[in-house]
């Protein structure tokens, strides 16, 4: 597969990879991965993702962003608040030249994560501020949209966002097609291989709007085993199967899509332009 695989959404800066990162990287390269778009969830990860880019400049494409859910000790999470973002906003601008996207940002309206209207309002406030940053820096956004697919897409359209990846999208096909009309892309991790729940969605989204992701260390083939970027081929093969295409066709198309979406990612420069 000559153009390589592009993981458009992974969490390589997560603590789960700290003990054996060099081996994780090696396995990714052996699997044919050419670019890792590394997103973060909290400001504490900002410096880590920049260190990763320094260590692997031809592989790691860094992003800054605050996830709609923030840790509050142990495995507990809470809705993000404006006071989480405000003190670190300047870091986006200070490092904007090194970033390929703003992410992972978005909305998570699952009842146990955002039980009150204030929680949802706070998430929206932080989301819109980060969308504004992405426009100022001329960067795409890498987006989480759990239990909030329609409002996420509607908000991005209202805010004038033209370049976005909706990762691990699980909304209705009709909602996804609204995103397609806006020019947005959708990515799916290896977890989609576990059952056929996303098949209808994957069939209806045009291949020209699909990218590959792992969301590692989460959302692997086995939910009890740490996922790695090296598993990206599972997503490629599954999408190919659902669409009745060859894995090679899906790989080449998704590489073109990734290059259009993340033009600042260095390693994408070797991919031929699909328009040629």
Confidence of residue 210 (pLDDT cuts 50, 70, 90): very high
Taking residues 77-103, report their average pLDDT.
Answer: 97
DSSP, residue by residue, 17-43: GSSSHHHHHHHHHHTTEEEEEE--SSG
pLDDT tens track for 103-123: 999 999 999 899 999 999 999
What residue numbers bound the domain in which 133 lies?
5-270
pLDDT tens track for 62-75: 999 999 999 987 77
pLDDT tens track for 122-160: 999 999 999 999 999 999 999 999 999 999 999 999 999
Judge whether 275 lies within some domain.
no
Give residue 276's pLDDT: 31
Give residue 160's pLDDT: 98
Look at the block and give the residue holding tokens 């992003």.
63
Angle CA(189)–CA(192)–CA(193) in degrees, nearest 5?
110
Q: Is residue 201 scored above 90 in pLDDT? A: yes
Judge whether 194 lies within some domain.
yes
Count CA atoms closer than 13 A to 17's CA, side-chain side.
Answer: 25
DSSP type of residue 92: H
Q: Is residue 79 scored above 70 in pLDDT? A: yes
User: How many angstroms separate the first and last alpha carbons of the chain?
Assistant: 19
Q: What whole-number distance in Å separates Cα of residue 207 and Cα of residue 186? A: 10
Q: What whole-number distance in Å separates Cα of residue 39 and Cα of residue 93? A: 17
CATH of the domain at 203: 3.20.20.140
Q: Is residue 204 scored above 90 in pLDDT? A: yes
pLDDT tens track for 19-43: 999 999 999 999 999 999 999 999 9
Q: Please say whether the dihedral angle defined by the alpha carbons of residues 47, 165, 258 and 137, taken in this order, is positive or negative.
A: negative
Give residue 269's pLDDT: 38
Judge whether 264 lies within some domain.
yes
Confidence of residue 272 (pLDDT cuts 50, 70, 90): very low
Give residue 3's pLDDT: 66
Judge whether 276 lies within some domain.
no
Judge whether 240 lies within some domain.
yes
Q: 10 vs 59, 108, 113, 135, 218, CA distance in Å?
A: 12, 18, 22, 22, 9
Q: Is residue 268 scored above 50 in pLDDT? A: no
* Contact residues for 78 (Cβ-Cβ < 8 A; gap 6+): 69, 70, 72
Count CA atoms closer than 13 A to 203's CA, side-chain side.
Answer: 8
Question: Which segments of the chain does DSSP mark as H helices, in order?
Answer: 21-30, 46-55, 82-85, 89-94, 117-136, 149-158, 173-181, 199-204, 232-243, 247-261
Judge whether 13 lies within some domain.
yes
Domains: count for the chain: 1
Which comes out higher in pLDDT, residue 2 or 255? 255
Q: Is residue 261 scored above 70 in pLDDT? A: yes
- The pair of structure tokens assigned to 20 is 């054996």
Q: Please say whether the dihedral angle defined by the alpha carbons of residues 100, 102, 107 and 110, taken in this order, is positive or negative.
A: positive
Give residue 109's pLDDT: 97
Confidence of residue 266 (pLDDT cuts 50, 70, 90): low
């Amino acid at each position: 597969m000559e153009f390589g695989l592009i993981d458009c959404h992974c969490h390589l800066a997560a603590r789960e990879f700290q003990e054996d990162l060099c081996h994780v990287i090696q396995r990714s390269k052996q699997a044919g991965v050419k670019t890792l778009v590394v997103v973060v969830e909290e400001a504490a990860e900002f410096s880590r993702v920049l260190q990763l880019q320094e260590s692997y400049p031809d592989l790691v494409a860094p992003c800054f962003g605050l996830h709609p859910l923030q840790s509050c000790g142990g495995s507990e999470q809470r809705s993000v608040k404006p006071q989480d973002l405000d003190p670190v906003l300047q870091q986006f601008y200070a490092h904007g030249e090194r970033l390929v996207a703003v992410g992972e940002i978005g909305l998570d309206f699952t009842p146990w994560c955002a039980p009150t209207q204030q929680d949802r309002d706070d998430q929206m406030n932080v989301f819109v501020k980060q969308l504004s940053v992405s426009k100022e820096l001329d960067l795409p956004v890498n987006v989480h949209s759990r239990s909030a697919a329609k409002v996420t897409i509607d908000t991005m359209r209202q805010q004038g966002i033209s370049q976005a990846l909706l990762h691990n999208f699980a909304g209705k096909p009709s909602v996804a097609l609204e995103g397609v009309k806006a020019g947005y892309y959708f990515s799916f991790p290896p977890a989609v291989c576990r059952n056929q729940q996303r098949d209808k969605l994957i069939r209806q989204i045009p291949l020209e709007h699909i990218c590959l992701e792992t969301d590692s260390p989460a959302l692997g083939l086995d939910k009890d085993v740490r996922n790695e970027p090296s598993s990206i081929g599972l997503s490629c093969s599954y999408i190919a199967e659902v669409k009745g295409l060859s894995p090679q066709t899906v790989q080449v198309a998704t590489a073109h899509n990734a290059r259009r979406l993340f033009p600042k990612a260095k390693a994408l420069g070797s991919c031929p332009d699909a328009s040629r």
